[in-house]
C-alpha cells in the first residue's frame, strides 16, 4: 500500500449528495494532513452525530523527546485547525470547544460541524494550501521574504494568545544556532533518545504509514536503508549540530512561537497558530520546517526565552525561506484514526 495516496484529495470529490457522516469523513481527509513531531500523527477522531471529538492518542507518545506530551498537543491543535479550515471552505458553520471536559484530559476539542450553505467562509487560500504544504528540511536559498509575506505569516501566527517573534539580528541568530547545537548534542548523547528516534525513521518513504522517511532527514541512498541502525548505534550529535547551525544561517527568516503560560490549552493554541502560519506561508510560496530540539531540552529552552524579544515559554522554532521541492510524508489511513459512535451513523 502506498501511504502517500492520502495527499491526493480534491475538493471536486466532496460528497455533496451524501449524508452528513460521509461529508465529515471527507473533511477529516484534510485534518490528517496536519504536521506532527516525528510524523507520529497522535490523534483520533470520534464522530458523534454532527460533532467530531479530537482525542489525544497516548499510544503514540514520545516519552524521551516529549515527556510532557507538549508537542503531542501541539500536533492535535494543528489537526484541529486543518479540520476547521476544511469545514469552513465547504460552507459549514463551525463551533469549537477546547478541553470541554475537565475529567478527560485526552479530549482535546469537540468540533461541531453545523449547517452547510452554498456560500463558503474562512480563507480559501489556506484551504487550498493544505494539500500542497510540505515540511521542507532542505537548505534554503538566499532570497529574503517580502515584507508582505512576513506580515501575513506573523498575523496568522499571533492568534489565540500565541506570540510570534522574528530572530533577525546576527547576534541573536548566532546565539540561537549555538543553543540548537547544544540541544542536538544533548539529545544524541542520550541512548534512549537515539532509540526512540530510530524507531520512527523508515528507509522507504511510502512503505510505512507514519514516521520519518530517512531521506527527508538527510540519509540519501544507500545510507537510508541503514539509517535507523546508524541513529540507534552512533552519537551523531556533533554532525547534526553543524548541519542545523548552517540551516539557521541560511534561512531567510526564523520565527519563535511562545505563550504566556505552559499548559495543554496553550499547546493546543500553539498548534492552531502553527497551522495558520504554515498554510499562510504555503499560500505565499514560502517553505517551512522546524528546529524544535532547542525547545525539547530544558536548559536550552530556558535560554531561548532570553533571546531578543522572545517572551514567556518558547514552544516552537520555525525556519522559513525558499527550498527545493520535496515529497510529502506518509499518513495513516483515515479508517485507522476515526471512530464512529453508533448514534452518528
| Domain limits for position 28 | 5-134+329-344
Domains: count for the chain: 2
* CATH number, domain with residue 280: 3.40.109.10
Three cell numbers, residue 136: 521542507
Beta bridge partners of 325: none
| One domain, residues 165 and 262 | yes
257-280 pLDDT per residue, tens = 999 999 999 999 999 999 999 999
Three cell numbers, residue 262: 505552559
| One domain, residues 270 and 126 | no
| One domain, residues 123 and 12 | yes
Three cell numbers, residue 255: 520565527
In this prediction, residue 229 carries a pLDDT of 80
Phi and psi at 111, nearest 5°, equal -110, 115
Report the C-alpha gap between 181 and 293 in whole angstroms: 9
In this prediction, residue 213 carries a pLDDT of 84
Domain presence at residue 209: no
Domain presence at residue 225: no
Q: Which residues of the chain have pLDDT under 70?
A: 204-206, 221-223, 343-345
Cα 195 to Cα 37, 282, 295, 326: the distances in Å are: 16, 33, 20, 26
In this prediction, residue 240 carries a pLDDT of 84
Domain presence at residue 263: yes
In this prediction, residue 37 carries a pLDDT of 95
| One domain, residues 48 and 105 | yes
| One domain, residues 84 and 163 | no
| One domain, residues 114 and 166 | no
192-234 pLDDT per residue, tens = 999 999 999 988 665 789 998 887 777 776 667 777 888 888 7
Question: Which pTM was predicted?
Answer: 0.95
The angle at the Cα of 39, spanning 37 to 44, to the nearest 5 degrees, equals: 95
Amino acid at each position: 500500500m502506498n501511504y502517500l495516496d492520502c495527499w491526493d484529495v480534491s475538493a471536486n470529490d466532496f460528497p455533496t449528495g451524501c449524508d452528513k457522516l460521509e461529508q465529515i469523513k471527507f473533511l477529516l481527509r484534510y485534518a490528517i494532513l496536519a504536521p506532527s513531531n516525528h510524523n507520529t500523527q497522535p490523534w483520533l477522531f470520534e464522530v458523534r452525530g454532527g460533532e467530531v471529538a479530537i482525542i489525544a492518542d497516548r499510544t503514540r507518545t514520545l516519552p524521551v523527546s516529549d515527556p510532557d506530551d507538549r508537542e503531542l498537543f501541539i500536533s492535535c491543535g494543528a489537526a484541529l485547525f486543518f479540520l476547521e479550515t476544511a469545514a469552513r471552505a465547504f460552507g459549514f458553520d463551525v463551533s469549537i470547544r477546547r478541553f470541554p471536559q475537565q475529567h478527560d484530559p485526552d479530549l482535546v476539542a469537540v468540533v461541531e460541524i453545523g449547517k452547510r450553505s452554498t456560500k463558503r467562509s474562512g480563507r480559501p487560500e489556506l484551504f487550498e494550501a493544505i494539500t500542497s504544504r510540505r515540511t521542507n528540511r532542505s537548505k534554503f536559498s538566499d532570497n529574503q521574504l517580502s515584507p508582505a509575506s512576513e506580515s501575513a505569516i506573523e498575523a496568522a501566527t499571533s492568534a489565540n494568545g500565541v506570540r510570534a517573534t522574528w530572530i533577525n539580528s546576527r547576534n541573536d541568530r548566532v546565539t540561537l544556532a549555538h543553543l540548537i547545537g547544544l540541544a542536538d548534542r544533548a539529545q544524541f548523547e542520550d541512548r534512549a533518545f537515539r532509540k526512540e528516534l530510530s524507531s520512527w525513521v523508515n528507509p522507504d518513504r511510502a512503505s510505512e504509514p507514519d514516521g520519518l522517511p530517512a531521506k527527508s532527514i538527510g540519509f540519501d541512498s544507500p545510507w537510508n536503508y541503514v539509517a535507523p541502525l546508524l541513529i540507534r548505534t552512533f552519537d551523531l550529535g556533533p554532525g547534526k549540530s553543524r548541519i542545523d547551525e548552517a540551516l539557521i544561517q541560511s534561512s531567510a527568516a526564523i520565527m519563535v512561537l511562545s505563550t504566556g503560560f505552559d499548559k495543554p490549552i496553550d499547546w493546543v493554541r500553539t498548534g492552531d497558530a502553527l497551522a495558520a502560519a504554515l498554510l499562510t506561508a504555503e499560500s505565499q510560496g514560502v517553505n517551512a520546517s522546524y528546529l524544535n530540539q532547542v525547545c525539547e531540552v530544558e536548559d536550552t529552552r530556558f535560554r531561548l526565552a532570553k533571546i531578543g524579544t522572545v517572551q514567556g515559554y518558547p514552544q516552537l522554532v520555525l525556519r522559513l525561506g525558499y527550498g527545493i521541492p520535496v515529497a510529502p510524508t506518509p499518513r495513516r489511513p483515515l479508517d485507522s484514526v476515526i471512530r464512529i459512535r453508533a448514534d452518528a451513523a
